[in-house]
Amino acid sequence: MTLKCGFEWHVQLDTNKLFCSCPSLLRDEGKEVEIKRSFKATMGEGGDIDVTARFEEGRGNNVIYEAPLESSCLVESDEEPPHEINKEALRISLEMSNALSCKQVFNEIIFMRKVIIDGSNTSGFQRTALIAMNGNFKAKGKNIGIATINLEEDSARRVADEGGTTRFKLDRLGIPLVEIATELIDTDEKELKEIAEEFGRFTRLFKVKRGIGTIRQDVNLSIEGGSRVELKGFQDIRHMDKVIVNEAERQQALLKLIKDKGYLSQYLENTDYKELNNYLGDTKSELIRGGIKSNKTLLSIKFRNFKGLFGYRICEDKRFGSEISDYLRAFFGAGIIHSDELPAYGITQADIEKIKKEMKLDDEDAFLITIIKPEEKEKVIKAIISRIRSLLTSVPMEVRAVNEDGTSNFLRPIGGKDRMYIETDLPIIEVPRDILNESAKFKGFDVESLKSKYGLNDDTFNLLIKANKLELALKLNRELNLDFNTITKVMVADLTYIHRKLSIDLDEKAAIDVLRSISKGAITKEASTSILERLAINEFKSVDEAVDKLNLRKLDKNALKKAILAIIKSGKLNENEIIINLKQKLGPRFEYSEAARIIKILNGNKRDN
């Protein structure tokens, strides 16, 4: 199916938070405090209130924040201004911008506030800054235009919805995000999924977080005659192609419905409704009886000549009635039951006949039922009529949440420029010259050029990628002038071995200290495992202490030569036998390659004599 699509990729960086020194850790245990808030919509820079802000304010939700003491502070709870920007996050975002060949990489960063009052940001806005524009990403033989790259703070994570109150945890709030928005791509659902997979591999060239939720992919999609719809929240892209097909089919079905049934919108002007609490009190439906018992209003709305419309198939497992129900649920947390799906939910034919009689329905009429708070009646009726009218006149432009079954549901309207205004707590940030210069080295950086430049074979490259250590390995290679086999042995093989043997995740700082000692010639790479294992169990406080106490300091060339000569004098041994003897006597205090060179020289001199 040919489509026009664009991506918005959101990539979490593996650093501390963007505007404080809190670690970027997600935890469900530990000490925390609770904060209660509610939000009001505010005007953007142009003086207007954004449609998404009006929508969220209309929901009237209260918010409870769970603030973990380990991974949040007064910055996250909006009780303290943001601190200085995280320089490491800034550097990584500029490296990615250069790797995507952006023609404009800005040396001055201005943060804006994006109004968001769904509770996911304690301040009522998200801080976001444009850092680069006009780039290019190559995937599946296509040049995909990169429109903008932003550096922003991640939102709080939603943990529960409790009626009119939503709970968020503040551990994710403030984690640095790089948002990459592409130009439109002429593609199909299969290729789109492959492009997303290719981009996921690209991000692993940098210091980014790994795992479900650390890369979130939104897709903007439209078909001919339809409207732009943003499909939000692809955390796992395995079902992306299915979601894309369902959305395209949904828009096609709505376009056909508008053509065939659009005239029905004329009957929405004078819609009748009735409260049915007194008429269905004896129903066997537990759903309805429960609603009445909890003092809610059982509301029924009549729709002239709508028979069959609410049951009209939109896409897989979705009907026209689902579009109304999803919309109402987003606003009020309430769904609908419609006449095209009855009898069901314990509602019998006798109940249906009662409703028809009280609502004075003809054979071609339809009705829907919803159970709501009494004070919300007028708002609910208005929302239902508005949604039906919009679906019968055009494909609504909106943000839709992706579901695990491959379908999507209404989330909110699409925001615009009215949600942006200037950040007043942060100055204009002039990017330090060393960060600009260092990140510029990543111009045109991709997998194949990287392997070629650093002489990386596929096995080493894949090991570093899998362990999320590639960026660190590149840095250590440049700083310590060590080969990638040595770096991979210490940073991946040794740390993995210790985790499996001791169930300890050793801080990578210890491994870096070991590599520094190898670089200085103080120890061999063969000694690293023993040293790190003892550091992991806190037997020693430092690499130097472990080296001295374990007698693992590397022999100098003269000492190694004397040891080899002593073994040679003891009998006629070949090179391998000499190395084995050395290993038995010296352990990992010498480099095998250096010993082999000395043996060859000594054997050569012996032949000359």
Residue ranges with strand state E in 83-141: 104-105, 108-109, 111-115, 125-139
Domain residue ranges of the chain, discontinuous segments joined by +: 3-228+417-422, 261-395, 446-549, 557-608
pLDDT at 351 over 70: yes
Model pLDDT, residue 608? 44
Separation of CA 216 from chain center: 3
User: Whose structure tokens read 């994006």?
Assistant: 114
When the pLDDT of each residue in the chain is averaged and rounded to a whole number, the result is: 90
Confidence of residue 44 (pLDDT cuts 50, 70, 90): confident
Instruction: Kindly report which listed range (54-63, 253-262, 277-286, 551-560) carries the lowest average pLDDT score.
Output: 54-63
pLDDT digits (tens, 9 = 90+) for 402-443: 998 889 999 988 877 778 889 999 999 999 999 999 898 888
User: Whose structure tokens read 């959305």?
Assistant: 247
Which ranges of 394-527 would DSSP assign to H, the alpha helix? 433-440, 447-454, 458-466, 470-480, 484-488, 495-502, 508-519
pLDDT at 28 over 90: no
Model pLDDT, residue 487? 94
Contact yes or no for 511/494 (Cβ under 8 A): yes
pLDDT at 39 over 80: no
Spatial separation of the C-alpha atoms in residues 212 and 308, rounded to whole Å:
41
Q: Which residues contact 572 (CB under 8 A, 6 or more apart)?
A: none
Mean pLDDT of 170-174: 96
Higher pLDDT, 62 or 23: 23
Using a pLDDT cut of 70, give the percent of the chain over it.
97
Mean pLDDT of 491-518: 93
What CATH number was assigned to the domain covering residues 261-395? Answer: 3.30.1360.30
Q: What is the pTM of this model?
A: 0.77
Confidence of residue 609 (pLDDT cuts 50, 70, 90): very low
pLDDT digits (tens, 9 = 90+) for 143-171: 999 999 999 999 999 998 876 788 999 99
Q: Which residues contact 574 (CB under 8 A, 6 or more apart)?
A: none
Highest-scoring range by mean pLDDT, 133-142, 145-154, 218-227, 543-552? 145-154
Mean pLDDT of 333-355: 94
pLDDT digits (tens, 9 = 90+) for 528-542: 999 999 999 999 999
Transcribe 296-315 into DSSP letters. Answer: -EEEEEEETT-TTTTT-EEE
Mean pLDDT of 129-141: 92
Q: Which residues contact 81 (CB under 8 A, 6 or more apart)?
A: 75, 425
pLDDT digits (tens, 9 = 90+) for 379-390: 999 999 999 999
Contact yes or no for 127/175 (Cβ under 8 A): no
Mean pLDDT of 432-461: 84
